[in-house]
Amino acid sequence: MAALLRGAVLLGGLVLMGYGLYGMLGDPFITDPVSVLVWGAWALVLHDGWWVPLLCLAGRYAVRGPVLRGWLIVAAAVTAVGLPAVLRTGDDNGNPSVLPLPYLRNLLLVLAATAGLALLLALARRWRGMGGGAGPHLREVAGGISARARRWARWAGGRARPQGRSSGRPGHGRRGSHG
Amino acid sequence: MLRRGPFRDGAFRSPLHEPRTTVVLGRWLGAAMLICFLTGLFSHLLQDPPPWLAGWLPSRPAQGYRVTQGLHVISGLAAIPLLGAKLWTVYPRLFEWPPARSVLHALERLGIAVLVAATLLELFTGLLNTLQWYPWPFPFRQTHFWLGWLAVGGLLVHVAVKAPLIARNWWRSGPALAQRRAFLGAVGAAVGVVTLTTAGQSVPWLRPLDLLAPRRPDVGPQRLPVNRTAAQAGTQSTPPDWQLRVDGPRPYRLTLAELMELPQHEAELPISCVEGWSASARWSGVRVADLLARAGAHAGSAVKVTSLEAAGPYRIMEMPAQYASDPLTLLALRVNGEVLDADHGFPARIIAPNRPGVLQTKWVARLEVL
């Protein structure tokens, strides 16, 4: 039964892909399907060859702490969505109801507001860490590393891995967006 | 063989490059993509229905298109952080060694390349379309449509190929990884913030938070956004001898003053755009059904509407009978109590329930009973 279902999904997927390809090649408005292929290839190259390696390197060498990481995921997502509007602010093709807002200011506002929340979260974690020992969440993160590291973790408000590079496990950037 | 860089064993050391995290994100992303695909398909069918379907499209619920197109853009924007996070969790797989173990494996990897490229391009073109920004050489609408089939087809193939792995990790909760919880929480927060700061362009109660969407539903002439201005359409000034021409078994013409003297009806209806924004307004004017009946149309007639604009893909619009006979469908002469602004279609425009904005023809010159 499961194999049958799996086969049906596979077949359905192939049919849909075939339909999409057939439609794209036969569409009278798409006079140059190769340009779609080229743009698709560029999207892959830029995403997998530039953006993700950049994040991985940033995650390994520059970013520490789950709260900062989390905020960077949010910031990356918001920037990916908001940046086109920032870049095109004022460029409305003569239609003032398109892009009517101060997008750079708004983007900075959202980044600042989320950074403020992240800061509060970090402070709360630190406070919990200083209070009745590391909170359950922090203990989990810090579990298995030395007592010295745990003290450091408490002090740093969630910096679970003082050695960073050598422990390396959270090394690669968590992030939320492809830009 | 000596493998270097990302090909080296253990080059990726985050414990989050593991199937459970991928499956959780994949479920969210899959749901977003599916909503996006179905609502996009619905939009396409409403906008450009094949003849066999045109008679079956419903004119109710009146807010239908607003909801589906709002969901389309909301789920598309939510998919941006989800796709990024999902691809990051499986990124090490890109450097598998050997690159292909068999012909089938090579095909699978090719399929994933198509899926990822189509999805990236789909989200990118969709995002930029909401800004009316088209830096690519191909037409947006058709390419976006066909890429959608390619992406969803690729998704199904991917799910089928990975089914055993997905099944193994669907319910699994252990081993608990605090980092996973933090990571998924952060991705969830990213989706939340993106949604809260953009969805206000179609969701009325989120309007105050509409900081990053390309539209504000209350900004524009007469506090309504515009998709195509009168200047863009070349209809800034109406011919001084403008008359509405209604063709049917008993053709007739009416001046604007005569139209204003006919029984006026009011309808609270949204303008909902394919670009994802929508805004409600109180429209008033003459019922299209009354105008058609006066021309001798029998009940159940469809109508062809022609705009004053000289060119444009929506200069001529066909309205199936169920919309034409709906009492909410108006030849609107006023919006929110004011005579229509040129950008909103002065002297007269169509407003019908559950239809894409581009089919709410502005600057109407002629109705023709079909």
Residue pLDDT, tens place only, B260-274: 999 999 999 999 999
Quick one: average pLDDT of B82-110? 95
Whether omega for the bond prior to residue A96 falls within 30 degrees of 0, making it cis, is no
User: Under an 8 A CB cutoff, do B197 and A174 touch?
Assistant: no
Phi, psi of A160 (to 5 degrees): -80, -20
Q: CA-CA distance, B257 to B148, in Å (whole number)?
A: 47
Q: What pLDDT digit, counting tens, does each position of B34-54 carry?
A: 999 999 999 999 999 999 999
Q: CA-CA distance, A178 to B252, in Å (whole number)?
A: 58
For chain A, give the number of residues. Answer: 179
* Burial grade of A94 (CB within 10 A; 0-12, 13-18, 19 or more): exposed
Q: Angle, nearest 10°, between helix axes B19-47 and B64-90?
A: 150
Q: What pLDDT digit, counting tens, does each position of B292-303 carry?
A: 999 999 988 999
Radius of gyration of chain B from its Cα atoms, rounded to whole angstroms = 25
Confidence of residue A93 (pLDDT cuts 50, 70, 90): confident
- Higher pLDDT, residue A158 or B62: B62
Q: What is the pLDDT of residue A131?
A: 62
Q: Which of B80, B85, B112 minimizes the C-alpha distance to B96?
A: B112
Does A168 contact chain B (CB < 8 Å)? yes
List, in sequence order, every residue forming a beta bridge with B303; answer none if it has no partner.
B319, B369
Q: CA-CA distance, B213 to B242, in Å (whole number)?
A: 37
User: Under an 8 A CB cutoff, do A99 and B139 touch?
Assistant: no
User: Under an 8 A CB cutoff, do A170 and B221 touch?
Assistant: no
Confidence of residue B175 (pLDDT cuts 50, 70, 90): confident
What's the whole-model pTM score?
0.89
Does B222 contact chain A (CB < 8 Å)? no
Partner-chain residue, chosen from A21, A32, A178, that has the shortest CB–CB distance to B84: A178
Q: Any idea where the domains of chain A sit in the sequence? A: 35-129
Does A84 contact chain B (CB < 8 Å)? yes
For chain B, give the number of residues. Answer: 370
Tell me how far CA of residue B131 lies from CA of A161, B162, B213, B227, in angstroms: 43, 36, 9, 11
Q: CA-CA distance, B48 to B25, in Å (whole number)?
A: 34
Q: Which of B66, B127, B131, B122 minimizes the C-alpha distance to B273?
A: B66
Ranking A55-64, B126-135, B272-281, B334-343 by mean pLDDT, the lowest is: A55-64
Q: What is the pLDDT of residue A11?
A: 98
Q: CA-CA distance, A179 to B22, in Å (whole number)?
A: 20
Quick one: average pLDDT of B165-172? 93
Quick one: average pLDDT of A125-129? 89
Quick one: average pLDDT of A76-98? 94
Quick one: average pLDDT of A145-150? 46
Partner-chain residue, chosen from A27, A48, A94, that has the shortest CB–CB distance to B231: A94
Q: How close B285 comes to chain A (CA, Å)?
A: 24
Quick one: average pLDDT of B13-41? 96
Does B118 contact chain A (CB < 8 Å)? yes
Mean pLDDT, chain A, as a whole number?
A: 81
H or E, element range at B319: strand B316-319
Ranking A13-27, A151-165, B10-24, B312-326 by mean pLDDT, the lowest is: A151-165
CB B68 within 8 A of CB B39: yes
Torsion of CA B29, B30, B36, B42, to 10 degrees: -170
| Residues of A with Cβ-Cβ distance to B216 under 8 angstroms | 100-101
CB B198 within 8 A of CB B213: yes
Mean pLDDT, chain B, as a whole number?
A: 95
Radius of gyration of chain A from its Cα atoms, rounded to whole angstroms = 23
| Residues of A with Cβ-Cβ distance to B231 under 8 angstroms | 94
E runs forming strands in B58-177 = none
Partner-chain residue, chosen from B118, B176, B186, that has the shortest CB–CB distance to A70: B186
CB B183 within 8 A of CB B21: yes
Most A CBs within 10 Å: which of B73, B211, B215, B235, as the mutation test of the A interface?
A: B211
Q: Angle, nearest 10°, between helix axes A33-46 and A2-26?
A: 120
User: Under an 8 A CB cutoff, do A40 and B185 touch?
Assistant: no
Per the listing, tokens 């708004």 go with: A106
User: Under an 8 A CB cutoff, do A140 and B117 touch?
Assistant: no
Residues 121-150 of A with CB under 8 A from B: 137, 140-141
Does B196 contact chain A (CB < 8 Å)? no
Q: CA-CA distance, B260 to B238, in Å (whole number)?
A: 17
Does B170 contact chain A (CB < 8 Å)? no
Torsion of CA B190, B111, B154, B135, to 10 degrees: 60
Confidence of residue A172 (pLDDT cuts 50, 70, 90): very low
Q: What is the pLDDT of residue A175?
A: 39
Q: What is the pLDDT of residue A159?
A: 41
| Residues of A with Cβ-Cβ distance to B37 under 8 angstroms | none
Query: Please, what is the end-to-end C-alpha distance for chain A in angstroms?
Result: 41
Determine what percent of chain A is predicted with pLDDT higher than 70: 73
Mind spelling out the 3-state secondary structure of chain A?
A: CHHHHHHHHHHHHHHHHHHHHHHHHHCCCCCCHHHHHHHHHHHHHHHHHHHHHHHHHHHHHCCCCHHHHHHHHHHHHHHHHHHHHHHHCCCCCCCCCCCCCCHHHHHHHHHHHHHHHHHHHHHHHHHHHHCCCCCHHHHHHHCCCCHHHHHHHHHHCCCCCCCCCCCCCCCCCCCCCCC
User: Under an 8 A CB cutoff, do A35 and B137 touch?
Assistant: yes
- Higher pLDDT, residue A137 or B232: B232
